[in-house]
Amino acid sequence: MRFFQRMRRSSLPAIDKYALAPWIPIDDYRNRAASIWRRRIGMAVRFQAGRQRQRGRVDLLVKLESPLTDSTALALRYNALLQIRLGLQKFDVLVIDPSTPLQPTHLQALAQGVRL
């Protein structure tokens, strides 16, 4: 028993509860995030998931098909739903619509992200 306790202490890395669980593939997080959008919000969108960053968070760009005046409020709500379902502080969500002026972060996500 002591051997296992010692081994656990020495060999396993400390788990950051706010980071992604290392045993769950990043694609699972992305697909579950997309599924939560479809179930709970349901507006027609195009998803673009950014590459996993070093700190272990998922970037999601949600591109709405029609204009929306309060896309920030929608991004906040969606992020809250994701955190409730999948854990705190794991996602950075950007919601844009056709009228949003594209910032460098949006362009980067659109160019390099994985389409879901």
Partner 1 sequence: MTREHSNADIAARLSHLQRVVLKEYRYLSYTAEKLQQADPQFRWLDAIEQNAELTERLDAFVSRFCRLQDTLGDKLLPTYLRVQLEPIGSVLDNLNRAEKLGLIPSVADWIEARGLRNNLVHEYTEDMDVLRQSILRAMQLVPMLDAATQKLGGKAASACLAVS
Which residues bind to partner 1, rule: CB under 8 A? 17, 70-73, 76-77, 79-81, 83-84, 87-88, 103
- The least CB distance from residue 4 to partner 1, in Å, is 25
Nearer to partner 1, 32 or 77 (CB): 77
Spatial distance between the Cα atoms of 71 and 69, rounded to a whole number of angstroms: 6
Interhelix angle 26-36/71-86, nearest 10 degrees: 120
- The least CB distance from residue 81 to partner 1, in Å, is 7
Give the helix, strand, coil percentages of the chain, each rounded to 5.
45, 15, 40
Rg, C-alpha atoms of the chain: 17
- The least CB distance from residue 1 to partner 1, in Å, is 26
Nearer to partner 1, 43 or 81 (CB): 81
